[in-house]
Amino acid sequence: MSVQLYNTMSRSIETFVPAKEDEVGLYTCGPTVYNYAHIGNLRTFLFEDTLKRVLLQSGFTVNHVMNITDVGHLTGDGDDGEDKLQRMAKEQQQSVWDIADFYTTAFFADFDALNMIRPTIVCKATDHIEQMIDLIKRLEERGHTYTSGGNVYFSIDSIDDYGKLARLDLEGMQNASREDVEVDDHKRNPKDFVLWFTRSKHGDQEMMWPSPWGRGFPGWHIECSAMSMHYLGESFDIHCGGIDAIPVHHTNEIAQSEAATGKEWVKYWLHGEFLLDDTGKMSKSKGEFLTLALLKKHGFEPLDYRYLVLGAHYRSQLRFSFQSLKMAQSARRRIGEAVRSMVNGGAQRTTISSDAALAYRDDFLTHIQHDLNTPQALAVLWSVVKDGTLGADERYTLVLYFDQALGLRLDAIEADEEIPADIMALFDERNRAKAAKDWEKSDALRSELAQKGYVVKDGQSGSSIEKKM
C-alpha cells in the first residue's frame, strides 16, 4: 500500500514517492520562541507528527529537520514590525538569549507531553548565520537582490513564478488599495522582502552579526531555506507548516531557494488548518491564549487534546471548546480502560493472522495512508476495541499497531497493580462506615483514598476501588 498526500502546490492528492527510495527528507517550520505555544500552534505540530508516524509505519526512514526561530521573525509579515523576541525581552527585562532558551525548553516540554517524536535535527537560526549569509551571497551573484536604505532585499521581479504556491494574483494585488499596510519606501515592489536587516526601526537589536552588507540580522524566511538545504540538500521531499505560512513565509522561502539553485526545491507541500476559538483563528495577540498548561489546570491531560485533534482531519478547521475536549477525554479514557482490561486478562503481542484482524489492519491503513484520515482511523480503532469476536491477543496487537500512527501511548498501559494492604484497610473501613450510614466518615475516607491516588466507585452490586488513570 502506498501513502497518498494532498500537495498544496498541485491542489490535489498525490501518491507519495520520495526522491531516495526509502528515506524521506522532511522539513517542518519550528516555533518562534518568544512565548508559550498556544494550542492552535500545537495542532500544526500534531498534524506533522501524525504525518511522520504514518511514514514510519509505512516503512520509510524519516530524516526530520525542524528549526527554532530565535531571531528575525517580525511582528508584521511585511517586514514592518519589531523582532518578536526582542520585544518580549524588553517587556520582561531579560536578555533575548534567555527568552529564547526559556521558551525553547517550554516548547519541548509540550512537545514531549503530547507524545510527539522529536525531530532528527533541531536547528537554531542563530547557529546558522553563516549558511544564511552564504545563501544571500548566492542570490546576490545571480542578480536577485538589491540593497536599499541599509537592508538587502529579494526582488520578486527577478523571477517569473513568484507566488506559485499561493497562486497569488500579483497584478490584482498591485492595483488593490494597500492603505492598511505600512509601506516600506525602500522596496521596489511591495512584495519584495528583506534578506538581511542592518537597521531596525524599533531601536537596538541585541542579536547582530557582521556580514558583507554590514552588521545586522537575517530575515525570517531566509533561515528556513538556509537550514533545510544545509541538512537535507538543495532539493528534498516534504515541507510542512500551518496554512497561514502559504501566502508569505513559504512563498518567499520558495522564491529565494529556487532562485539560488535553479532547481525545484520541495516536491510535496503540506499545510494544517487552523484551530478556531469563539472569536475565530486562535492567536497570541488576542489577550489570554490557550496553552497546554491551562488545559491541565482545567483537569485535562495533554493526550486528551491529542485525541481531540485526531478527531478532525488536518485540512479541516477545528473549533475548540472545553465541552468537546471533555468528550475527547472521556473517549480516550474508555479506550484506555479497554486496553487495561486486555492487559489485565494477560493479552500478549502476536502475529496478526485471522482474516478478520487482517481486514481491520487493511481498513486502518487505507484510511490513515489516504492523506492522514485520522477520524476514520479512530473509528477503526473503536471497532476493534468493541469487537468481542476477535481473539484477545490479536485485538491487543492491532490496537498497539494503530497507536504507532495515533500516538496515544496505549503501549504504556500496564496491568492493574495489586492494591496495597493499607489502602485496602481504608477501603474496608469506608465500606463499614457506608453500611452504617455514617456518610460523613464515609466521604472523608473516600477523599483520603483519592488523595492517595485511588478512586472508589459505588455501583449497584457494591463498591470497588481502582488506581487513578
Comparing CB distances to Zn ion, the nearer of 245 and 390 is 245
Nine cell digits for residue 409: 501511548
**Minimum CB distance to Zn ion, residue 236 (Å):** 13
**Minimum CB distance to Zn ion, residue 223 (Å):** 7
Comparing CB distances to Zn ion, the nearer of 29 and 325 is 29
Comparing CB distances to Zn ion, the nearer of 8 and 442 is 8
- Phi, psi (degrees; rounded to nearest 5) at 42: -65, -30
Comparing CB distances to Zn ion, the nearer of 250 and 446 is 250
Comparing CB distances to Zn ion, the nearer of 269 and 289 is 269
**Minimum CB distance to Zn ion, residue 254 (Å):** 11
Comparing CB distances to Zn ion, the nearer of 29 and 372 is 29
Comparing CB distances to Zn ion, the nearer of 253 and 394 is 253
Comparing CB distances to Zn ion, the nearer of 224 and 229 is 224
Q: Give the whole-angstrom CA distance, residue 338 versus residue 251.
A: 46
**Minimum CB distance to Zn ion, residue 313 (Å):** 23
> Contact, 351 vs 421, CB < 8 A?
no
**Minimum CB distance to Zn ion, residue 29 (Å):** 3
Q: Which residues bind Zn ion (CB under 5 A)?
A: 29, 224
Q: Give the whole-angstrom CA distance, residue 153 versus residue 166.
A: 21
Comparing CB distances to Zn ion, the nearer of 5 and 224 is 224
Cα angle, residue 330 at apex, residues 326 and 333 outer, rounded to 5°: 135
**Minimum CB distance to Zn ion, residue 271 (Å):** 12
**Minimum CB distance to Zn ion, residue 362 (Å):** 36
**Minimum CB distance to Zn ion, residue 308 (Å):** 26
Q: Give the whole-angstrom CA distance, residue 54 versus residue 370.
A: 10
Q: Give the whole-angstrom CA distance, residue 458 versus residue 245.
A: 52
- State how far Cα 316 lies from the chain centre: 15
**Minimum CB distance to Zn ion, residue 114 (Å):** 21
> Contact, 432 vs 462, CB < 8 A?
no
**Minimum CB distance to Zn ion, residue 316 (Å):** 23
Burial class of residue 391 (count of CB atoms within 10 Å of its CB; 0-12, 13-18, 19+): middle
Comparing CB distances to Zn ion, the nearer of 264 and 414 is 264
